[in-house]
Amino acid sequence: MTARIVLLRLRTVTHVRSRPFSSPPVRVEWDFVRVLYVARCDRCADSLATPNATAADDWADTHRCDPELTALLTRITKRRAA
């Protein structure tokens, strides 16, 4: 009897919510490892992990960035780029 090896690839499914241009860029991803939906803001790095897709979408729709955190992250990333 020969053993068969099946390679499984972990994937992350990402979709970016269609929102007004001025809204924060929030992604909703499915994390196969943690078995959770993860909503993450690209501007302030705030995030939410939940098993509920609707909760992740609702968070993405209502998220507002913390202005102080956003300014701090912008300053750090500009310093790294220079």
26 backbone dihedrals φ, ψ, rounded to 5°: -110, 130
Question: What is the rounded CA–CA span in Å between residue 82 and residue 78?
Answer: 6
Candidates 1-9, 15-23, 38-46, 72-80; binding stretch for Zn ion (CB under 5 A): 38-46
By the rule CB under 5 A, 43 interacts with Zn ion: yes
Q: What is the DSSP letter of 14?
A: E
By the rule CB under 5 A, 60 interacts with Zn ion: no
Return the number of the residue (32 or 61) whose C-beta is nearest Zn ion: 61
Residue with tokens 């968070």: 59
Instruction: Give the footprint of Zn ion on this chain (CB under 5 A).
Output: 24, 41, 43-44, 46, 65
